[in-house]
Chain A
Amino acid sequence: MKRRTFLSAVGSGLVTAAGTALPKAAFAAGASDPIKLGLLFSQSGTMANGESLLKDTALMTIDQINAKGGVLGRKLQGVVVDPASDWPMYAQLSKQLILRDKCAALFGCWTSVSRKSVLPVVESQDSLLFYPLHFEGEEQSKNVVYLNSPPSSSVLPAIDYLMSDQGGGARRFYMIGSDYVWPRTINKMLKGYLKTKNIPDSAWREHYVPFGQSNFQTIVRDIKDFAAQPGGQAIVVMTVVGDSIPAMFKEAINQGVRATDIPILGLDVVDSDLEGLDTKPLVGHLSCWCYFQNVDTPQNRQFKSEWKNYVSAHNLKHRPDMVIDPMVSTYLGINLWAQAAAKAQSISTDSVRKALAGQSMVDPAGYTVKMDASTQYLWRGDMIGSINATQGFDVMWKSKDIEKPVPFSPFIGKA
């Protein structure tokens, strides 16, 4: 693999250049028109790393469904656009996908700000957006299907663990996030929650950096300073996203911050963010998702091998041995949509929405996920993972069964 990467650094680039410069050929779907599904994932910009994985997972799932005969006798076709990590572009392109391409549903967005930009569009055009990331909650729209967990099922269990004796008895919290809706809301809820646990105001600190910030020198120094104050064990609640994650980890490693000193709970960290880092000094930092790829179930083994085959068959630039939770959510979303459309015998938004309620299937982590009947949130299992020495996560804890998602947190108002 090593010898090939030097040549592929230039070679596959040329292949991609040839591939992308040519107009995309329409899918030859057969006699009837294909059903179009809009794929709203960035291929460039700060969110490109994660979102391009989701785009390819969506295309893989579409291929799988088509191989089984498609939906309502018609093939599915993924319409790929590139919003380039620019939030107004998401709004613009979602309009284009709905009005011009007549897509039956949209699958997309990673950051909450991109979802918030698309929200007015899907509401005014009455379309459906399937959103695959865990997020801050505080939202419930009949035009959005929430495929991953709000904080009640993901963040709070992790915080509880860190505050327990086994987790180090955290009593002081340094919240560092990118400056937009998700980190701000998570921290607001967290502060309310901490208040109910009698943590005083002096025991937490909040700091926000712009998107794409890569210089964390002063911040890591500030964290070390904060941790040196008395009052108990300090932890870092890290809600930075995209490029900022490896940048902050690198600075923490260089300045000697280890999980044994100041554990970092990185709420948006996935395996792809750890690529290229030497993770031995990062062992022990935590993250929480509904799925980690080291979970050992037959469904997971199958899903991982399907992904591996897809990557090599299409010669993609991704790592064939890496699967992250948002990919699983995307896979679940498309399958659930297909199930609902088949049950409703129609692809109109209203009928699919009605048929979605209560739909269930088995996810790669082994849980039987279920779509909530009223909130359009997906019930999923919950896991806490700990970074290991091989750029991955070890599953430290997983919930016994799927958990009820709580869209509106009771702790928000308390801050």
Chain B
Amino acid sequence: MNTFPDPRTSRRFTLSALATKWMGQTVEVSIVPLLVLVALYLPFAYFVIPESNALHLSLFGINLIGQIMCFALLALALDLVWGYAGILSLGHGIFFGIGGYMMAIYLLNGAYAETHVLPDFMQYMGAHDFPAVWKMLSRLDVTIVVTIVVTVLVAGAFGFVTFRSRINGVYLSIITQALTYALMLLLFINDVGLGGNNGMTGFTSLAGRKLADTSTQIGLAVCSCLLLVVAYVGVRFLARSSFGRALIAVRDDEARMRFLGYRTHTLKLFAWCLSAVLAAFAGMLYVPQVGIVNPTIVSPQLSVEIAVWVAIGGRGTLIGAIVGAIVVNGLKFWLTAQLPAVWPFILAAVTLVIVVYFSNGVWGTLKAAGSESKGDGR
């Protein structure tokens, strides 16, 4: 049973006084202007602030922030299905990968149009031209639409069969792991035509701008922030609507909801497809910033890590997912540069402590401690 973590069993904080002041809806809403500020700060930090200043951000730093924002969006997507619908998917990497690969195909189309040189993996597979199916994705708007369609089809097919069969809980998680593993294995095969282990790289331009330009890179990072904001606002609105309430009820006791006449599988399917599309968008923005896509994007390990970010941040709170993703990935990028040998131990320790003792995650625990002090009695 996926019960929402009971706030009464979480630990008290001596910070609870502080928590009372800070927690609550105000903070959750204020993340929106905060993220917008970050988005505005990025170009400012690069172009205006001089290099010697500590507040300056190098292109490398901006690029990192952009990537982290994509991960935060991915975590948000998972929180929607896990925190609100109770579906722990350990295969969200599949949708992240679909978005990533679609974007890569579009970018390769652009590179081919510019340079008239086939990508390496096509050359050594003996192809003489782009496959016709690929040529469809030669415009950005078409690519976005096609990605949404493909993602909804894949997510819908899986969700339709799975939710109708009433598979949930652990079995569903294992199945999603198996599916992402199978997809990764498939993508490793060069004969499938998606670059195999080499992956796809060599992107030159995006929507008419050169990808190597600093303005494009900064633009992508800014877009990632803004998309995260929009997604957060949208999902939060949805979560606080009656649909969201129904989802929470399904998570807490699906049988009862079914007896009450709700079509629980439809509710779950809708949330699932929406979450998949968000993950695909995250993938679409991630790939141009990294400059390469390859099957490790759909590896089982990455999919489990997404769940870890959400768990650490606090599932079911939306903002917790964002915070968790930003904190964990930020720490990871910083520590793997300084102390590469220590990072896995730190991550393991933090995860264990959070999962065992603070099952609401960082944010959830703070929030619960705050509300308890307020005397809500929830």
Contacts and interface: CB of A to CB of B under 8 A. Distances in A.
Asked whether the complex places CB atoms of A and B closer than 8 A, the reply is yes
Interface of A: 17, 20-21, 23, 82, 86-88, 91-92, 95-96, 99-100, 113, 116-117, 119-121, 124, 138, 178-181, 184-185, 188, 208, 210-211, 415
B224 interface: no
A95 B201 contact: no
B199 A87 contact: yes
A180 B190 contact: yes
Given A179-B188, A179-B196, 15 more contacts: A21-B339, A23-B338, A23-B339, A88-B296, A91-B291, A92-B290, A96-B60, A113-B197, A116-B201, A117-B198, A120-B201, A120-B202, A184-B190, A208-B189, A210-B197
B341 to A, nearest CB: 4
Contacts of B171: none
A181 B60 contact: no
Nearest to A20: B341
A100 B60 contact: yes
B302 to A, nearest CB: 11
B292 A179 contact: no
Interface-central residue, A181, A188, A415, by most chain B CB under 10 Å: A181
A120 B340 contact: no
Interface in B277-297: 290-294, 296
Contacts of B59: 99
Contacts of A124: 212
Interface residues of B, number: 34
A415 B294 contact: no
B48 interface: no
Contact of A180 (B63, B197, B293): B197
Nearest to A184: B124
Instruction: List the 8 closest A-B pairs by CB distance, nearest first.
Output: A184-B124, A20-B341, A99-B60, A124-B212, A180-B197, A185-B124, A113-B198, A210-B188
B201 A179 contact: no
23 contacts: A20-B340, A21-B342, A23-B338, A82-B340, A86-B296, A87-B199, A87-B292, A88-B199, A88-B292, A88-B293, A92-B290, A96-B60, A99-B59, A99-B60, A113-B199, A117-B198, A119-B201, A119-B202, A179-B188, A180-B196, A181-B121, A210-B188, A415-B126
Interface of B: 58-60, 63, 120-121, 123-126, 185, 188-190, 196-199, 201-203, 212, 290-294, 296, 337-342
A267 to B, nearest CB: 15
B290 A100 contact: no
Contacts of A91: 201, 290-292
Nearest to B213: A124
Nearest to B339: A23
A168 B120 CA distance: 35
Contacts of A23: 338-339
Interface SS of chain A: helix, strand, loop or mixed? helix
B210 to A, nearest CB: 9
Contacts of A120: 201-203, 291-292
Nearest to B212: A124
A180 B203 CA distance: 19
Contacts of A415: 126
A87 B290 CA distance: 12
A23 B336 CA distance: 11
Nearest to B299: A86
Contacts of B203: 120
Given A91-B292, A99-B58, A17 B199 contact: no
Contacts of B338: 23
Contacts of A20: 340-341
A178 B294 CA distance: 16
A181 B198 contact: yes
A180 B292 CA distance: 15
A100 B58 contact: yes
Contacts of B339: 21, 23
Given A99-B60, A179-B189, A180-B198, A116 B290 contact: no
Contacts of A95: 60, 63
